[in-house]
Amino acid sequence: MASLAGYDYRIGMTPSVSAPANDRPPFALRRPQRQTMPVVFASPHSGIDYPAEFLAAARLDPHSLRRSEDAFVDELFAAAPGFGAPLLSALFPRAFVDPNREALELDPQMFEDELPPEANTDSPRVAAGLGMIARVIASGEEIYGRKLRVAEAVRRIEQYYRPYHTMLAQLISETKTRFGFCVLIDCHSMPSVGSPLERDAGRGRVDIVLGDCRGTACAPFLTERVETALRRMGYGVARNNPYSGGYVTQFYGRPAASIHALQIEINRALYMDEATLARGPGFAPLADDMGRLMRAMGDIAAGLGAAAAE
């Protein structure tokens, strides 16, 4: 039987990774013909490929499960390759596997058997039911009608979580090797009103939130320039509230090592109907503006590189 005990979960440390049962990679990678800017765009929560066994095990209907998605975010940033930057998107849904968590950030209440001692079982995200395998959706409703086996967590890590992170780490490494540094833009969306599980429950939200882990995940220059570019387009922008950056931003953002990570959260009311999960009339204008931001990232990244060289 599969076990988590003694397993090495350091990202990118294994020479090979497992693919889902159909051998299809659990991510989409869109590369430019030639990478011309030191930027990687990633969308970890826009996946919509729901495994049949997951839907069968869930006590919620598919529409309810989809409320956890960062719907259409990969499409909002789809033009990235045309501006000279790769775009990595998870194909699997967040409610099934959340790559914006530690691999072993797991809720022991969800499992029949015992998790290993190295599992992170007491993080605030686990306490909220939103670990690497979520116990609840954003509204607080329980996803599963039964407990899982630890072997299931192993399979999801091997077939979905690890391949995504291995590719993300590879893109960052390639970019840093080519340009001397890398900027990771982790792309997300957020409900227009704080959910019951969040500290701003019931309150309306600003258009865009930039999360740089309160100044530790990237140089202040990057956050400032991105904020300025968005404000010039007419968007209301906040920093680190209510989201300061998830695991991806925290883990990969190492300014001292010339890797800068910035999380972007976009208010869903700007571009979609949050009840029907359909694109709204604001989708095309917002996608155009994200294209303007991606074009500007070339100059922003160049300025970041020049500032670091001084």
Arithmetic mean of pLDDT over the chain = 91
**Cα(90)–Cα(29) distance, rounded to whole angstroms?**
9
Pairing between β-strand 208-211 and β-strand 237-239 as defined by DSSP bridges: parallel
pLDDT at 34 over 50: yes
In this prediction, residues 169-188 reach a mean pLDDT of 98
Under the banding of pLDDT at 50, 70 and 90, the label for residue 307 is confident
pLDDT of residue 62: 95
Q: What is the pLDDT of residues 118-163, one digit of tens each?
A: 999 999 999 999 999 999 998 889 999 999 999 999 999 999 999 9
Quote the CA–CA distance of 265 and 160 in Å, as a whole number. Answer: 23
Q: Indicate the range of 241-245, 267-271, 306-310 predicted with least confidence.
A: 306-310
Lowest mean pLDDT among 5-19, 60-74, 108-122, 124-138: 5-19
Question: What is the structure's pLDDT at 213?
Answer: 98
User: How much is the average pLDDT of 254-267?
Assistant: 97
SS3 label, residue 156 = helix
Domains belonging to the chain, first-starting first, are 28-309 (3.40.630.40)
Quick one: average pLDDT of 55-68?
95
CB atoms inside a 10 Å sphere around CB 80: 27
Yes or no: say if 274 and 191 are a contact pair by the CB < 8 Å rule.
yes
Whether the pLDDT of residue 23 is over 70: the answer is yes
Confidence of residue 197 (pLDDT cuts 50, 70, 90): confident
Residue 199 is predicted with a pLDDT of 81
Tell me the one-letter amino acid at 288.
Answer: D
Provide the percentage of residues in the chain whose pLDDT is more than 70.
92
Instruction: Give the residue among 14, 259, 265, 277 at the shortest CA–CA distance from 161.
Output: 14
Per-residue pLDDT band for 22 (boundaries 50, 70, 90) equals: low
**Scanning the structure block, which residue is given the tokens 């390639």?**
174
- The whole-angstrom separation of Cα 83 and Cα 95 is 31
Residue 74 has pLDDT above 60, yes or no: yes
pLDDT confidence tier of residue 20, bands split at 50, 70 and 90: low
**pLDDT greater at residue 220 or residue 19:** 220
- The kind and range of the H/E element at 305 are helix 283-309
